[in-house]
Amino acid sequence: MLSCRANRTIQAIQIIKNEWMSRGVNAAEKEYKMIRAFVFIEAEPARTEELVQELAGMQLDSSVIKEVHAVTGRWDLIALIESPDITSLGD
């Protein structure tokens, strides 16, 4: 189960997606095959390594978590997510 911080991060992606859509980014994104986004995740320290294994390769609707790495600093994990378009990224 993801932390509250991860859920807020997903909500932030959805807000950014909506802003981009309102600015006409949807037409420009069709030139690219995949959109990549880096998502920073705060996790319980005891579960960091477990989440790295659990999240890597996870399918999220039409998006995929390609990589997950443990990091130091404010965030505990960084995930690389690939999606076919900006709309799918926010889902």
pLDDT in tens, 48-60: 999 999 998 888 8
Q: What is the pLDDT of residue 88?
A: 80
Q: What is the pLDDT of residue 69?
A: 94
Note the pLDDT tens digit of each residue in 24-49: 655 455 444 788 899 999 999 899 99
Q: Are 73 and 43 in contact (CB under 8 A)?
A: no
Euclidean distance between CA atoms 55 and 67, whole angstroms:
8
Q: What is the pLDDT of residue 42?
A: 93
Q: What is the pLDDT of residue 20?
A: 62
- Beta-carbon contacts of 22 under 8 Å, excluding residues fewer than 6 positions away, are none
